[in-house]
Structure 1
Protein backbone atom coordinates (compact mmCIF):
# COMPACT_ATOMS: atom_id res chain seq x y z
CA UNK A 1 0.00 0.00 0.00
CA UNK A 2 1.21 3.47 -0.82
CA UNK A 3 2.62 5.90 1.67
CA UNK A 4 0.01 8.51 0.72
CA UNK A 5 -2.76 6.13 1.78
CA UNK A 6 -1.10 5.39 5.12
CA UNK A 7 -0.64 9.12 5.80
CA UNK A 8 -4.26 9.79 4.81
CA UNK A 9 -5.67 7.29 7.31
CA UNK A 10 -3.26 8.46 10.02
CA UNK A 11 -4.46 12.06 9.52
CA UNK A 12 -8.19 11.37 9.85
CA UNK A 13 -8.59 11.56 13.65
CA UNK A 14 -6.88 14.97 13.82
CA UNK A 15 -8.89 16.34 10.88
CA UNK A 16 -12.26 14.95 12.02
CA UNK A 17 -13.36 17.91 14.20
CA UNK A 18 -13.17 20.27 11.21
CA UNK A 19 -14.78 17.83 8.76
CA UNK A 20 -17.43 15.96 10.77
CA UNK A 21 -19.63 18.69 12.21
CA UNK A 22 -23.07 17.07 11.84
CA UNK A 23 -24.82 14.55 14.08
CA UNK A 24 -24.22 11.53 11.82
CA UNK A 25 -22.77 8.33 13.26
CA UNK A 26 -21.89 5.07 11.59
CA UNK A 27 -19.33 2.46 10.63
CA UNK A 28 -17.70 2.59 7.22
CA UNK A 29 -15.59 -0.23 5.83
CA UNK A 30 -13.13 0.60 3.05
CA UNK A 31 -11.96 -2.28 0.89
CA UNK A 32 -8.85 -1.40 -1.13
CA UNK A 33 -8.15 -3.96 -3.82
CA UNK A 34 -4.92 -4.82 -5.61
CA UNK A 35 -5.27 -7.73 -8.01
CA UNK A 36 -6.85 -10.54 -6.02
CA UNK A 37 -5.85 -9.05 -2.62
CA UNK A 38 -8.10 -6.80 -0.52
CA UNK A 39 -6.99 -4.63 2.39
CA UNK A 40 -9.69 -3.59 4.83
CA UNK A 41 -9.89 -0.31 6.74
CA UNK A 42 -12.64 0.36 9.22
CA UNK A 43 -13.82 3.83 10.26
CA UNK A 44 -16.12 4.50 13.18
CA UNK A 45 -17.57 7.93 12.42
CA UNK A 46 -19.15 10.15 15.07
CA UNK A 47 -19.68 13.92 15.37
CA UNK A 48 -16.23 15.55 15.28
CA UNK A 49 -14.37 12.25 15.58
CA UNK A 50 -13.31 9.19 13.65
CA UNK A 51 -11.61 6.03 14.86
CA UNK A 52 -9.50 4.19 12.28
CA UNK A 53 -8.63 0.50 12.53
CA UNK A 54 -7.73 -2.48 10.36
CA UNK A 55 -10.32 -4.71 12.00
CA UNK A 56 -13.12 -6.34 10.06
CA UNK A 57 -16.24 -5.43 11.98
CA UNK A 58 -19.92 -5.09 11.04
CA UNK A 59 -20.33 -1.97 8.91
CA UNK A 60 -23.23 0.30 7.99
CA UNK A 61 -21.62 0.96 4.60
CA UNK A 62 -18.84 -0.45 2.43
CA UNK A 63 -16.74 1.49 -0.10
CA UNK A 64 -14.75 -0.74 -2.47
CA UNK A 65 -12.07 0.75 -4.71
CA UNK A 66 -8.71 -0.21 -6.16
CA UNK A 67 -5.72 0.89 -4.10
CA UNK A 68 -4.39 2.82 -7.11
CA UNK A 69 -7.60 4.79 -7.54
CA UNK A 70 -7.83 5.39 -3.79
CA UNK A 71 -4.33 6.87 -3.86
CA UNK A 72 -5.62 9.23 -6.55
CA UNK A 73 -8.53 10.17 -4.27
CA UNK A 74 -6.32 10.92 -1.26
CA UNK A 75 -3.91 13.01 -3.33
CA UNK A 76 -6.62 15.03 -5.08
CA UNK A 77 -5.96 13.61 -8.55
CA UNK A 78 -9.34 11.82 -8.61
CA UNK A 79 -12.85 12.63 -7.34
CA UNK A 80 -14.74 10.14 -5.17
CA UNK A 81 -18.23 10.73 -6.53
CA UNK A 82 -16.98 10.67 -10.12
CA UNK A 83 -15.27 7.31 -9.48
CA UNK A 84 -18.54 5.86 -8.17
CA UNK A 85 -20.51 7.24 -11.12
CA UNK A 86 -17.95 5.80 -13.56
CA UNK A 87 -18.36 2.44 -11.76
CA UNK A 88 -14.65 2.41 -10.90
CA UNK A 89 -15.61 2.21 -7.23
CA UNK A 90 -18.67 0.76 -5.54
CA UNK A 91 -20.59 1.82 -2.52
CA UNK A 92 -23.28 0.00 -0.59
CA UNK A 93 -25.15 0.83 2.58
CA UNK A 94 -25.81 4.22 4.13
CA UNK A 95 -24.97 6.75 1.45
CA UNK A 96 -24.60 9.57 3.98
CA UNK A 97 -21.44 7.89 5.33
CA UNK A 98 -19.79 8.03 1.91
CA UNK A 99 -20.88 11.64 1.45
CA UNK A 100 -19.31 12.51 4.81
CA UNK A 101 -16.17 10.50 4.17
CA UNK A 102 -15.47 12.13 0.81
CA UNK A 103 -15.10 15.47 2.61
CA UNK A 104 -11.72 14.17 3.81
CA UNK A 105 -10.44 13.96 0.22
CA UNK A 106 -8.50 17.02 -0.93
CA UNK A 107 -9.64 19.15 -3.84
CA UNK A 108 -7.82 18.64 -7.13
CA UNK A 109 -4.79 20.90 -7.58
CA UNK A 110 -5.77 24.35 -8.81
CA UNK A 111 -9.44 24.11 -7.80
CA UNK A 112 -10.86 27.16 -6.06
CA UNK A 113 -14.04 27.65 -4.10
CA UNK A 114 -16.46 29.49 -6.43
CA UNK A 115 -17.66 31.64 -3.52
CA UNK A 116 -14.16 32.97 -2.99
CA UNK A 117 -13.81 33.67 -6.71
CA UNK A 118 -17.09 35.63 -6.62
CA UNK A 119 -15.92 37.61 -3.56
CA UNK A 120 -12.69 38.55 -5.36
CA UNK A 121 -14.68 39.67 -8.39
CA UNK A 122 -16.90 41.87 -6.20
CA UNK A 123 -13.87 43.39 -4.44
CA UNK A 124 -12.23 44.23 -7.79
CA UNK A 125 -15.37 45.84 -9.20
CA UNK A 126 -15.98 48.12 -6.18
Structure 2
Protein backbone atom coordinates (compact mmCIF):
# COMPACT_ATOMS: atom_id res chain seq x y z
CA UNK A 1 0.00 0.00 0.00
CA UNK A 2 1.16 3.47 -0.77
CA UNK A 3 3.00 5.36 1.90
CA UNK A 4 0.76 8.39 1.31
CA UNK A 5 -2.32 6.34 2.25
CA UNK A 6 -0.68 5.04 5.41
CA UNK A 7 0.34 8.58 6.46
CA UNK A 8 -3.15 9.87 5.68
CA UNK A 9 -4.85 7.36 7.99
CA UNK A 10 -2.23 7.83 10.72
CA UNK A 11 -2.87 11.59 10.71
CA UNK A 12 -6.66 11.41 10.97
CA UNK A 13 -6.96 11.32 14.81
CA UNK A 14 -4.84 14.47 15.19
CA UNK A 15 -6.84 16.30 12.51
CA UNK A 16 -10.29 15.23 13.74
CA UNK A 17 -10.90 18.04 16.27
CA UNK A 18 -10.62 20.73 13.56
CA UNK A 19 -12.63 18.82 10.93
CA UNK A 20 -15.28 16.92 12.91
CA UNK A 21 -16.93 19.87 14.60
CA UNK A 22 -20.55 18.97 13.82
CA UNK A 23 -22.79 16.36 15.35
CA UNK A 24 -21.98 13.67 12.81
CA UNK A 25 -21.14 10.22 14.10
CA UNK A 26 -20.95 6.82 12.49
CA UNK A 27 -18.68 4.17 11.06
CA UNK A 28 -17.29 4.16 7.53
CA UNK A 29 -15.75 1.00 6.04
CA UNK A 30 -13.24 1.81 3.29
CA UNK A 31 -12.39 -1.01 0.89
CA UNK A 32 -9.29 -0.36 -1.25
CA UNK A 33 -8.84 -2.72 -4.17
CA UNK A 34 -5.40 -3.41 -5.65
CA UNK A 35 -5.59 -6.13 -8.29
CA UNK A 36 -7.01 -9.22 -6.62
CA UNK A 37 -6.40 -7.93 -3.07
CA UNK A 38 -8.67 -5.76 -0.95
CA UNK A 39 -7.38 -3.75 1.99
CA UNK A 40 -9.78 -2.68 4.71
CA UNK A 41 -9.95 0.43 6.86
CA UNK A 42 -12.64 0.97 9.48
CA UNK A 43 -13.14 4.63 10.43
CA UNK A 44 -15.31 5.51 13.43
CA UNK A 45 -16.23 9.19 13.52
CA UNK A 46 -17.82 11.20 16.29
CA UNK A 47 -17.73 14.92 17.09
CA UNK A 48 -14.09 15.95 17.48
CA UNK A 49 -12.65 12.43 17.32
CA UNK A 50 -11.90 9.62 14.92
CA UNK A 51 -10.67 6.05 15.39
CA UNK A 52 -9.01 4.14 12.57
CA UNK A 53 -8.30 0.41 12.34
CA UNK A 54 -7.32 -2.08 9.65
CA UNK A 55 -10.35 -4.27 10.30
CA UNK A 56 -13.66 -5.04 8.76
CA UNK A 57 -16.68 -4.55 10.89
CA UNK A 58 -20.23 -3.34 11.03
CA UNK A 59 -20.47 0.03 9.34
CA UNK A 60 -23.07 2.67 8.58
CA UNK A 61 -21.53 3.17 5.13
CA UNK A 62 -19.07 1.44 2.81
CA UNK A 63 -16.81 3.13 0.26
CA UNK A 64 -15.17 1.04 -2.47
CA UNK A 65 -12.21 2.50 -4.33
CA UNK A 66 -9.12 1.42 -6.16
CA UNK A 67 -5.95 1.96 -4.17
CA UNK A 68 -4.60 4.14 -6.98
CA UNK A 69 -7.61 6.46 -6.89
CA UNK A 70 -7.49 6.70 -3.11
CA UNK A 71 -3.84 7.67 -3.25
CA UNK A 72 -4.74 10.45 -5.68
CA UNK A 73 -7.46 11.57 -3.25
CA UNK A 74 -5.11 11.71 -0.25
CA UNK A 75 -2.53 13.67 -2.25
CA UNK A 76 -5.02 16.20 -3.63
CA UNK A 77 -4.79 15.00 -7.22
CA UNK A 78 -8.45 13.85 -7.34
CA UNK A 79 -11.73 14.76 -5.67
CA UNK A 80 -13.99 12.26 -3.89
CA UNK A 81 -17.39 13.47 -5.07
CA UNK A 82 -16.18 13.70 -8.67
CA UNK A 83 -14.80 10.15 -8.47
CA UNK A 84 -18.13 8.81 -7.20
CA UNK A 85 -20.10 10.75 -9.84
CA UNK A 86 -17.82 9.37 -12.57
CA UNK A 87 -18.35 5.89 -11.11
CA UNK A 88 -14.61 5.51 -10.45
CA UNK A 89 -15.54 4.50 -6.91
CA UNK A 90 -18.80 3.50 -5.27
CA UNK A 91 -20.47 4.33 -2.01
CA UNK A 92 -23.40 2.84 -0.14
CA UNK A 93 -25.04 3.70 3.15
CA UNK A 94 -25.14 6.98 5.06
CA UNK A 95 -23.97 9.55 2.51
CA UNK A 96 -23.37 12.14 5.24
CA UNK A 97 -20.39 10.10 6.45
CA UNK A 98 -18.83 10.25 2.97
CA UNK A 99 -19.44 13.99 2.71
CA UNK A 100 -17.85 14.60 6.11
CA UNK A 101 -14.92 12.23 5.51
CA UNK A 102 -13.99 13.93 2.23
CA UNK A 103 -13.09 17.05 4.23
CA UNK A 104 -9.96 15.19 5.37
CA UNK A 105 -8.65 15.13 1.79
CA UNK A 106 -6.38 17.99 0.75
CA UNK A 107 -7.49 20.42 -1.91
CA UNK A 108 -5.88 20.10 -5.33
CA UNK A 109 -2.64 22.06 -5.77
CA UNK A 110 -3.30 25.67 -6.75
CA UNK A 111 -6.87 25.66 -5.46
CA UNK A 112 -7.94 28.76 -3.60
CA UNK A 113 -10.87 29.30 -1.30
CA UNK A 114 -13.48 31.35 -3.20
CA UNK A 115 -14.00 33.52 -0.11
CA UNK A 116 -10.33 34.54 -0.18
CA UNK A 117 -10.58 35.43 -3.88
CA UNK A 118 -13.72 37.52 -3.23
CA UNK A 119 -12.00 39.35 -0.35
CA UNK A 120 -9.02 40.16 -2.55
CA UNK A 121 -11.26 41.49 -5.32
CA UNK A 122 -13.30 43.54 -2.84
CA UNK A 123 -10.06 45.01 -1.45
CA UNK A 124 -8.92 46.09 -4.92
CA UNK A 125 -12.18 47.95 -5.56
CA UNK A 126 -11.76 50.23 -2.53
User: TM > 0.5 between the two?
Assistant: yes
Residue of structure 2 in register with 1:72 after alignment:
72
**Shift of residue 28, structure 1, vs aligned partner:** 0.3
Listed one character per residue, the Cα deviations across residues 25-61 of structure 1 (whole Å, up to 9, x for unaligned) are 1000000000111000000000011000011110000
Compute the TM-score of the two structures, normalised by the length of structure 1: 0.99
How many pairs align?
126
What stretches of structure 2 of length at least 5 have no aligned partner?
none
Residue of structure 2 in register with 1:27 after alignment:
27
Listed one character per residue, the Cα deviations across residues 43-84 of structure 1 (whole Å, up to 9, x for unaligned) are 000001100001111000000000000000000000000000
Query: 2:76, 2:31 → 1: CA distance?
Result: 19
Residue of structure 2 in register with 1:92 after alignment:
92
Please say if 1:11 is aligned against 2:26: no
**Shift of residue 124, structure 1, vs aligned partner:** 1.4
Provide the aligned C-alpha RMSD in A.
0.5
Q: Secondary structure at the residue paired with 2:124?
A: helix
Deviant stretches of 4+, over 2 Å: none
